[in-house]
Every structure is written in C-alpha cells, then in structure tokens.
Amino acid sequence: MGLSSAPGPASKRQACHFCVRSILPPVPVSRNVRLLSAFNFFEDFRPYAPFIVLYLAQVTGSYAAGGGVIALSMVAWSAFEVPTGILSDMVGRVRTMALGAISTALGMMLWSMGTSTASLAAGSVVMGLGAAFASGNNVAFLHDTLAEEGRGDEYAHFLGRTSALFQVGLGVSALFGGLLALHSLRATMLAGIVPPVLGTILTFFMTEPRVHASGESTNVFAHVGEALRHFRKNARLRNLSMASMLDWGLGQAQWDFLPVFLGSLWPAWAVGIARTLSHIFACLSFWFAGRVLKRFEPLRTLIAGRAFCESVAIVIYAVPTVASPLILSVLSGFFGIKKTAEGTLLQREFTDRQRATMGSLNQLGGSLVFGACAILLGVLADRVGIVQTLIISEFVLLLGIFFYRQAFRHGKAGSDLRVEHA
C-alpha cells in the first residue's frame, strides 16, 4: 500500500468521530437539562448515608433516639410536601429548587455540628423541608423545560438520563464516605454540606420555564382544590397514583430492611459492595430508559417489569444462596426503567397549573405509606423473621399490576379532561 493511501491524523479523527457517533447518537441537550443533571448528582451525593444511623446513635446515645431523628425528617417532609408544591407552581421552579438546596445545606450543618438530640431534631425538620422542596418541583422543571422547547415527547428519555445521575451520586459518595468514615463519622456529615451548596450555585445559571403559568392563581385553597378535583375526576390518575404510592412507600421500607437479609449471606463489609452494585445497575437502567420506552410503551413495560422483578425476588428470598445479593443487585437494572415509565405516565395526567402540587400530593401519599409499612415490616420481622417479611412485601408489591390495569381500563386521560374544562 502506497503512502498516499495511508490514513493521516485528520482522517483518523474523522473515523473515530464517526465510530463514537454511530455508537452514541448525539442528542442536543439544553443548558437547563445539563444543569439539572449536575444538580441531581449533587443532590444525592451523600457520603454520610451508609453511616447515618451509626452517627445519630453516637450523638444521642441510643439507636432508638437516632431512629427517631430520621423518622422526624420523614414527618417533616410529609408536612411540608403540599405547601412547597403550591409554592413551586406560584413562584417558579428555579427559585423553589434553590430554596430546597439551601434548606438541605442548613439541615446538614445542624446534623453535622449537633451535640444533642434537640439540635439533631432541628436538623431533621430542615432536611425534611429541603426534600419537600425538591420532590414535586424538580421533575416539573424538567417537564416544563422540554415543553417550552417543543420537546415534550422526549420527556421519558431525559427523565431517565437526568435521574441516572442520582444513582451515580449515591454510588460514588458511598465509596467516598467509606474512606472518610475511617477518620471519623462526623467527617462524613461535614462533607455532606458541600454538595447542596454547589447545587445552590447551579440554580443561578438556570432559566425559569414559563409554560407552567406561575402566578395565574394566588388563592392557595382554590389551587389545591383544583388539583384534588382533578384527582377525583380522573380515574386513570387515581390508579396510577395509588400504584406509585405503593411502590415508593413499601419499596423504600423494604430497601431499609434488605441489609438484614444481605448480612445473613455476606460478611458485613461486603454488604456495601452489594449496595454499590445496585446503584450501578440502577444508573444504567435510568440511562437507557428512554430508548427502552421508545420501543415498548410505558404501561406494558411497567406491568412486565414489575411481574418479572417481584417474581424473581420471591424465589431469591425463598431459596437464599450466596449468590442472592448479587442477583438482587442485577434486578436493580429494571428499577430506572420502571420509575421512568411511571413518571412519564403520571406527568401526562398532571395539569400544567398544578403540576408540582399534584406531584407533591403523590409524594405525600407515598410518605404516609412508607411510615405505615416501616412499622408493619418491623413488626412482621420480629414475629416471623426477615425472609418471610420480605416475601410478603413482594406479594403486596404485585398489587401494583392491578392498579396499572385499572388505570387504563377506566377513566379518561388528563388531556381529555383539560379539553372538557376549556
């Protein structure tokens, strides 16, 4: 072969560029979406998360008091849920996001510098406020941004991509927190102050989407009343919401009890590895969720994913082996797809004027379910053991399939209802 036919540096770069583009097709991303991805990473960068119970018990002197501090955070989250959703619809998504990050930073300061149960309790209330600011607002910010850009049909894709950063933050911070914990548990708490501060700075560069029509209503009671009427009239939304509340509430309670099962099969130090693997598979699941949902409709994906995951989990709990923790981690590869499909269906039913409020109402219901399930699972675990408790919880989670089928068997879509009201 002559020298003239040998590929030069430019042609090599073009070939590499072509290969990369063929493997990862470029998707133009707006600044808001890029900033939201980074914000999500910082929001769930929690080096203290694996050690929070140990730290709180160390300060308060008992596990019961430490558990009470965590429970108080959930109670505060529930109490602030609807008011913060209303605030988002009225003052805007970006301001609400900034308030959430600031609240989280203040809560972490109170936790990390607390020397008594009272100071830790104050931190829990502020942390709950921060979580409430974020829960209904941030996905509404993404939806409104895409709608304003005329890209509403890409919501599932970008919801999956931006949500993947939650799992990246959790996974990376778990490893980072482990290194800090070798020094002291308080160091892991102090490190938790930095991410929400960086998140607050990111909000300064975000642009407020206008499509949610903030400021159209200043009557709080009328605003909530309209959202509740929509839940009452829209059977599809009610069933989707019940499935969502069950999945989040019971699923989160189950996740908190799962380390007990994992610890019976693997040494304590390896349980953290199982958690990290779960976050890795969940991240990949969120990242590719848009592609999956583009090929398979969200409803079928939800039903098939839930039936498969819950059925496999039941077998794993019933016949535990040394490979069970690894298989459970792999099952997290369906988590992001299911959550993205669920979020996509819910956003289709929410109204523009009450989008964050309706999301907050959903989260409030999920928080109440979590509280009840955490207590019930604890009682069951004491009486029948952790394995039987997890199996029972999996059977209950299968009820979600019933709600999904009911959602699309009865009732009109949210878009139809909005046309009737117009």
pLDDT grade, residue 414 (50/70/90)? very low
Instruction: Dig out the tokens for 205 from the structure.
Output: 């560069």
Position 219 scores a pLDDT of: 54
| pLDDT of 287 strictly over 70 | yes
Which of 204, 164, 122 lies closest to 289 in space, CA to CA? 164
H-only helix segments in 44-154: 52-60, 63-91, 93-113, 117-135, 137-148
Q: Has residue 6 got a pLDDT over 90?
A: no
81-136 pLDDT per residue, tens: 778 878 888 888 899 999 999 999 999 999 998 888 888 999 999 999 998 898 77
Residue of 101, 110, 100, 111 lying closest to 52 (CA atoms): 111
How far apart are alpha carbons 18 and 22 in whole angstroms? 6
- Estimate the crossing angle of helix 399-407 against helix 235-263, to 10 degrees: 160
Domains of the chain, with CATH numbers? Answer: 30-202 (1.20.1250.20), 218-422 (1.20.1250.20)
Q: Which of 130, 139, 132, 127 is nearest to 84 (CA)?
A: 132
Say how far apart CA 86 and CA 228 lie, in whole Å.
12
Cβ neighbours around 16 below 10 Å, total = 10
Residue range 290-312: mean pLDDT, rounded = 87
Once rounded to an integer, what is the mean pLDDT over residues 31-52? 88
pLDDT at 198 over 90: yes
Average pLDDT of the segment spanning 303-327: 92
Q: For residues 191 and 177, is the Cβ–Cβ distance under 8 A?
A: yes
pLDDT for the residue 223: 63
Res. 179 pLDDT band, cuts 50 70 90: confident
Average pLDDT of the residues in 233-238? 84
Helix (H, G, I), strand (E, B) or coil at 115: coil
At 51, is the secondary structure helix, strand, or coil?
helix
Lowest mean pLDDT across 2-6, 188-192, 275-279? 2-6
Residue 361: name the closest of 81, 127, 130, 131 by CA: 81
Least confident range from 221-235, 343-357, 403-417: namely: 403-417
Classify the phi-psi angles of 113: left when phi > 0, otherwise alpha if psi is within -120 to 50, otherwise beta: alpha
CA 244 to chain centre: 12
User: CB-based burial of residue 332 (10 Å sphere; 0-12 exposed, 13-18 middle, 19+ buried)?
Assistant: buried
Comparing CA positions, the residue from 140, 401, 79 lying closest to residue 246 is 401
Res. 161 pLDDT band, cuts 50 70 90: confident
How many CA atoms lie less than 13 Å away from 85 in the CB half-sphere? 28
Q: How far apart are CA 361 and CA 263, in angstroms?
A: 36
Q: What angle do CA 118, 369, 263 make, to 5 degrees?
A: 75
Cβ 316 vs Cβ 324: under 8 Å: yes
- Other C-beta atoms closer than 10 Å to the C-beta of 417 total 19
Percentage of the chain beyond pLDDT 90 is: 22
**% of the chain residues with pLDDT over 70:** 84
Of the candidate ranges 40-44, 107-111, 208-212, 330-334, the one whose mean pLDDT is the lowest: 208-212
Mean model confidence pLDDT for the chain: 80
In the chain, the amino acid numbered 215 is: G
pLDDT at 372 exceeding the cut of 90: no
**Looking up tokens 């959790």, which residue turns up?**
170
Between CA 187 and CA 181 the distance in angstroms is 7
Q: What is the pLDDT of residue 27?
A: 46
| pLDDT band, very low/low/confident/very high, at 221 (cuts 50, 70, 90) | low
CA–chain centroid gap for 40, Å, is 10
- CA 302, CA 387: separation in Å to the nearest integer? 25
> Do 275 and 174 meet the contact criterion of CB atoms below 8 Å apart?
yes
> Looking at residues 297-302, what average pLDDT do you find?
84
In this predicted structure, what is the pLDDT of residue 239?
A: 87
What average pLDDT does this structure show over 4-31? 45
pLDDT band at 30 (very low <50, low <70, confident <90, very high): confident
Instruction: Please indicate, yes or no, whether the overall pTM of this predicted structure exceeds 0.75.
Output: no
